Structure 1
Amino acid sequence: MAEDLSINKGTREEQYQSLLPQISAIIEGEPDLIANLSNITAALKEQFNWWWVGFYLVKNDELVLGPFQGPVACTRIKKGRGVCGTAWLKATTLIVPDVQKFPGHIACSSVSKSEIVVPVIHNNVVVAVLDADSEHPDHFDATDQKYLEQLTGTIVFNAPSV
């Protein structure tokens, strides 16, 4: 396991290319899902300094707050509600440049201006979503989508349900 992160200040793509192998080294060999999700959110927060980043886990047909970095957050989200619930329902990544313009946006924090939500898929089923919020409008793009989808594809869910 890596002890520290090496923070890269290059382009966004260079930052991901540096960070993802470090995250892989941190979670490699660790079977505990919560420990791994916690370290993933900490690494993303440290590298990108987003307003909020974390996971919501699918439990009993709703999203339940999991490991995160940032201010307190909404605890439960219904399928199809807000950006997270919609990404879960559609099983697709959503990039929202202006959260105020997203129909049904759930305002956990008025500071959040833009958001990306990436579903975590295991055995063709969404088992969680990775949610990142920025205090800046139009903050996330296709580069974030590419690398965050790559990252979520490496998360190992050992149990049939979370």
Structure 2
Amino acid sequence: MFQKVEYSGTKEQQYNTLTAQVKALIDGEHNLIANLANTSALLNQFLHQINWVGFYLKDGDRNELVLGPFVGLPACVRIPYGKGVCGTSAQTKTVQRIDNVHDFPGHIACDAASNSEIVIPLMHNGEVIGVLDIDSPEFNRFDETDQKYLQAIVNLIEETIR
């Protein structure tokens, strides 16, 4: 089993290091699946107190997300837009940072151990093409700093999309 990487410095300094690593890892690569897979793996190594990290991708012309590259236990395969945290993020094109998923109306419990979640839409040409989804067994795990830097990482991925 892999152990989480220990970074030193402030949370912002740690995220700056992670962001630079993601940028170097995906630089020059335009295959979306490869970039999402490597980003999921790197986020899993970096982030503490999480139990799932990965991407859901829009399934063609359907308003539905389908499971993409991830690290964690097996997950829900399909999520309709507007359902659960991921579907809400995809439908509204907004970040969803949920301190207690059990209080979120319509939450889809793929892993009963998850207590908080952050979902960031992945955009291309103004449209949602997927979402970054990160779950934690801790309540209130994600804050504004996490959101800011995870959004920056998603933006780096968006820049590689052709």
Q: Structure 2 length normalisation: TM-score? A: 0.91
Shift of the 63–12 alpha-carbon distance from structure 1 to 2, 3 Å rule, reads same
TM-superposed deviation, 1:154? 1.3
Separation in structure 1 between the aligned mates of residue 30 and residue 126 of structure 2, nearest angstrom:
21
Separation in structure 1 between the aligned mates of residue 94 and residue 44 of structure 2, nearest angstrom:
22
SS in 1 for 2:94: coil
Aligned counterpart in structure 2 of residue 136 of structure 1, from 133, 138, 150: 138
> What's the C-alpha RMSD, in Å, of the aligned pairs?
1.4
TM-superposed deviation, 1:13? 1.7
Aligned counterpart in structure 1 of residue 118 of structure 2, from 116, 121, 132: 116
Equivalent residue for 2:51?
Answer: 51
Equivalent residue for 2:152?
Answer: 150
The number of residues matched between the two structures is 154
TM-superposed deviation, 1:10? 3.0
Separation in structure 1 between the aligned mates of residue 47 and residue 37 of structure 2, nearest angstrom:
16
Q: Percent identity among equivalent residues? A: 49
TM-superposed deviation, 1:7? 4.6
Equivalent residue for 2:66?
Answer: 64
TM-superposed deviation, 1:11? 2.9
Task: Please list every run of 5 or more consecutive structure 2 residues that lacks an aligned counterpart in the other structure.
Answer: none
Separation in structure 2 between the aligned mates of residue 111 and residue 63 of structure 1, nearest angstrom:
22
SS in 2 for 1:153: helix
Amino acid paired to 2:53: V
Separation in structure 2 between the aligned mates of residue 73 and residue 26 of structure 1, nearest angstrom:
25
Separation in structure 2 between the aligned mates of residue 76 and residue 11 of structure 1, nearest angstrom:
37
Aligned 1:14-25 pairs, distance under 5 A: 14-25=13-24
Alpha-carbon displacement from aligned partner over 1:61-85 (angstroms, at most 9, x marks no partner): 2100000011111000000000000
Aligned 1:83-98 pairs, distance under 5 A: 83-98=85-100
Alpha-carbon displacement from aligned partner over 1:111-131 (angstroms, at most 9, x marks no partner): 000000000111111111000
Paired residues of 1:7 and 1:19 also in contact (CA < 8 A): no
Q: Structure 1 length normalisation: TM-score? A: 0.91
